[in-house]
Amino acid sequence: MAELTYRNAVAYGIAQEMRRDPMLVMLGEDIAGAGGVFKTTVGLVEEFGPLRVRDTPISEQAILGAAMGAAMTGIPVIAEIMFSDFLAVCFDILANEMAKSRYMTGGQMTVPVVVRTANGAGSRFGAQHSQSVENWCMMIPGLKVVAPSTPADVVGLMAAAIRDPDPVVFFEHKSLLASKGEVPDGEIIDELGTAKILREGTDCTIAALAYMVPRALEAAEHLAGDGISAEVIDLRSLVPLDTKAILGSVEKTGRLYTVEENPRLCGWGAEIASIVADEGFWNLDGPVVRITTPHIPIPSADVLEDLTIPSTQRIYDTIKTTLN
């Protein structure tokens, strides 16, 4: 057992897999020499060499395209898109090509690509470097979507994503990079599509993702002081989605809150609310409440940014005032 930062867990997880599979390669901007703009790939080029950890030009379509083409021939590839906002410039390759190639070729094509990208707000970077865009990917049939919240999950889900034969978008949250956690020794392989109940409770369920998970846990702690027992689920993976964990928890608690960093409209919580309305309706004792970023771009000034994304206080207040 060692304590690692979320940032170091990224390289740690990738290294575990690159040692296991000599075919696994990686490409992206500034990932080799510089160790990544977020220092998430430090040490990899030194261990695996510049042919397996390769710096590219600022050509996001070329990066994802090359990743896809190599993967089509059986080479597993990790492609880094520096900021998730930049997925917009290569969305064609992601949404129209990788996601569809197996289906539209009648099952001929396999595309084992992991697209890693830095997601989320909290860095005062403004509207083009702070978005949470997991819902952009969730809506595309053919993409798996993962967003870990702890260093151990980074390592285990990274391994699962790399070993998965389908394209996986792996969201690393910028505001979690410095957070620390215990990572068990030895090989770690987690499972996609599995949520984790991080805190048990009986009065309400809080479903959260990535950076919203520690905030949901903090809010639950405060609520406990008021005699409210909240259960906190870390979804970890949006596609596949662990609906059993959510429905099972709601069956127990009768209330569901989602905590989403993505802007309001078509955020993943809307899909979960719809599933629970369909399949868990008779277990509900009150409305499903979504706690989200408002439907606005992320502002830059610290005061404004802090106002927009769900805070511990907002989660606490919302639950406190709506639970009964």
- Residue 297 CA to residue 293 CA, distance in Å, equals 9
- Residue 105 CA to residue 103 CA, distance in Å, equals 6
Q: What is the DSSP letter of 172?
A: E
With binding defined as CB under 8 A, does residue 96 bind other proteins? yes
Site for other proteins in 122-161 (CB under 8 A): 141-142
With binding defined as CB under 8 A, does residue 244 bind other proteins? yes
Among 11, 45, 53, 71, binds other proteins (CB under 8 A): 71
Answer yes or no: are the C-beta atoms of 211 and 122 closer than 8 Å. Answer: yes
With binding defined as CB under 8 A, does residue 24 bind other proteins? no
Q: Which residues 6+ apart lie within 8 Å of 135 measured at CB?
A: 262, 266, 267, 268
**Amino acid letter, residue 183:** V
With binding defined as CB under 8 A, does residue 66 bind other proteins? yes
Residue 196: how many CB atoms within 10 A of its CB?
Answer: 16
With binding defined as CB under 8 A, does residue 57 bind other proteins? yes
- Residue 79 CA to residue 99 CA, distance in Å, equals 15
Contact flags string 203-232 toward other proteins, x per CB under 8 A: ------------------------------
Site for other proteins in 33-52 (CB under 8 A): 51
> Is residue 129 among the annotated active site residues?
yes
Among 7, 102, 129, 215, binds other proteins (CB under 8 A): 102
Q: Is 128 left (phi over 0), alpha (psi -120 to 50) or beta?
A: alpha
With binding defined as CB under 8 A, does residue 101 bind other proteins? yes
With binding defined as CB under 8 A, does residue 315 bind other proteins? no
CB-nearer residue toward other proteins: 271 or 306: 271
In whole angstroms, the minimum distance from the beta carbon of 81 to other proteins comes to: 14
With binding defined as CB under 8 A, does residue 87 bind other proteins? no
Sheet harboring 289-293: ordered strands across? 196-199, 230-234, 204-208, 256-263, 289-293
2 phi and psi angles, rounded to 5 deg: -130, 150
CB-nearer residue toward other proteins: 70 or 230: 70
Among 67, 198, 259, 309, binds other proteins (CB under 8 A): 67
Question: Taking CA 189 as the corner, what is the angle to CA 187 and CA 51, rounded to the nearest 5 degrees?
Answer: 75
With binding defined as CB under 8 A, does residue 193 bind other proteins? yes
Q: Which residues 6+ apart lie within 8 Å of 66 measured at CB?
A: 27, 56, 77, 79
Binding site for other proteins (CB under 8 A): 25, 51, 56-57, 59, 61-62, 64-75, 77, 92-93, 96-97, 101-110, 141-142, 164-166, 193, 239-244, 275
